[in-house]
Amino acid sequence: MAKIEFSDTEKESIVGKIKGYFHAELVQDIAQFDAEFLLDFFSQEIGAYYYNRGLSDAKLILEQKLESITDAFYEIEKPTDLCR
């Protein structure tokens, strides 16, 4: 799996959310560097779990859509004397 990287804008937004969480939920201020370090840690160590879940969810949706398309083909199929 490729390394999970965020644009500067995404990283700034995520770091802001980390800092906000620490302040609101833990009543603790966290420095910019520490929040970035924490983001890097989660990206490297935990990101693959979220990535794989996303792939699994996307695969399930695709399988459901393909099944629906296959059903639609059978619905419009014309009867013949030949069997498959």
pLDDT tens readout for residues 54-67: 999 999 999 999 99
**Average pLDDT rounded to a whole number, residues 17-28:** 97
* pLDDT confidence of residue 84: 63
**Average pLDDT rounded to a whole number, residues 63-83:** 90
Q: Are 19 and 35 in contact (CB under 8 A)?
A: yes
28 falls in which pLDDT band (50, 70, 90)?
very high
Q: Are 35 and 14 in contact (CB under 8 A)?
A: no
pTM for this one?
Answer: 0.70
Cα–Cα distance for residue pair 40/43, rounded to 1 Å: 5
Cα–Cα distance for residue pair 76/41, rounded to 1 Å: 53
What's the token pair of residue 11?
């990283």
Instruction: Calculate the CA 60 to chain-centre distance.
Output: 13
* pLDDT confidence of residue 50: 93
